[in-house]
């Protein structure tokens, strides 16, 4: 059966529409923006575990942009940094609707829940003061999640294990001495009871004399 030309047109239209929808979905999921960002901010972090390009940026808890780049600081940059532990620089783009960022804004890493993706969080800062210039660089504060808390607690747990081991050793040395000490206390108690009995006898004899 000979196909009509219109059938090919319909099939081609379906294919093209599917490709356009797939491209739009890919762009939406990846966070890619066709428009070049006009406002950016550089944030230096000690550790950015959980953050990647296209991660969300929030200002005072509301969506405000995306992470557009990440790079490791050079050895020279780390030496000249106020915080020698900074290792990664994150570049974020700010939506045009976001007001100028106050100079005292605080950048952290956060997540809505324990298993939710992490995002870059900016505090609201104090209005009325100096504002950050475009593409300014600020110091970021690391996130304190389960991994960081566990790592920080590691030395404490090690010290606790050493303390428990020393306590067990001290108890092991002290326990054998409890037997002779108990025997000595028993002898002292017996002697004390004899003294009390003797005093009681003396008291009765004194009553008879009187």
Same domain flag for 41 and 133:
yes
End-to-end CA distance of the chain: 146
Same domain flag for 104 and 53:
yes
Number of structural domains, the chain? 3
Same domain flag for 130 and 159:
no
Same domain flag for 57 and 129:
yes
Same domain flag for 149 and 139:
no
Q: What is the pLDDT of residue 1?
A: 46
Task: For 114-178, give the DSSP string.
Answer: SSSPEEEEE----TTS-BPPTTEEEEBPPP--HHHHHHHHHHHHHHHHHHHHHHHHHHHHHHHHH
Same domain flag for 53 and 131:
yes
- Tokens encoding 190: 């017996």
Domain extent for 181? 144-210
**Spatial contact of 102 and 39, defined as CB atoms under 8 Å apart:** no
Domain-terminating residue out of 143, 174, 202: 143
Q: What is the pLDDT along the chain (210 residues), one digit of tens a residue?
A: 456 777 778 778 888 888 888 877 776 666 556 678 899 999 999 999 999 999 999 999 999 999 999 999 999 999 998 899 999 999 999 999 999 999 999 999 999 988 889 999 999 999 888 999 999 999 998 776 555 566 556 667 667 766 766 777 766 665 665 566 566 666 666 666 765 666 666 556 555 555
Same domain flag for 98 and 75:
yes
Give the residue among 21, 9, 123, 112 at the shortest CA–CA distance from 64: 123
How many other β-carbons are positioned within 10 Å of the β-carbon of residue 141?
Answer: 15
Same domain flag for 23 and 111:
no
């Amino acid at each position: 059966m000979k196909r009509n030309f219109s059938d090919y047109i319909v099939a081609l239209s379906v294919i093209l529409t599917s490709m356009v929808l797939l491209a739009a979905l890919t762009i939406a999921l990846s966070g890619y923006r066709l428009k070049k960002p006009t406002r950016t901010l550089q944030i230096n972090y000690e550790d950015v575990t959980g953050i990647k390009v296209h991660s969300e940026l929030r200002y005072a808890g509301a969506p405000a942009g995306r992470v557009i780049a990440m790079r490791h600081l050079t050895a020279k940059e780390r030496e000249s940094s106020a915080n020698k532990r900074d290792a990664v620089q994150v570049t974020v783009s700010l939506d045009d609707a976001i007001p100028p960022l106050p100079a005292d804004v605080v950048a952290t890493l956060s997540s809505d829940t324990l298993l939710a993706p992490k995002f870059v969080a900016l505090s609201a800062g104090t209005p009325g003061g100096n504002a950050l210039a475009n593409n300014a660089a600020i110091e970021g504060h690391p996130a304190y999640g389960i991994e960081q808390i566990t790592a920080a607690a590691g030395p404490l747990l090690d010290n606790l294990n050493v303390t428990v081991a020393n306590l067990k050793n001290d108890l092991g040395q002290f326990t054998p001495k409890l037997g002779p000490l108990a025997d000595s206390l028993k002898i002292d108690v017996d002697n004390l009871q004899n003294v009390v009995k003797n005093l009681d006898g003396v008291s009765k004899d004194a009553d008879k004399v009187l």
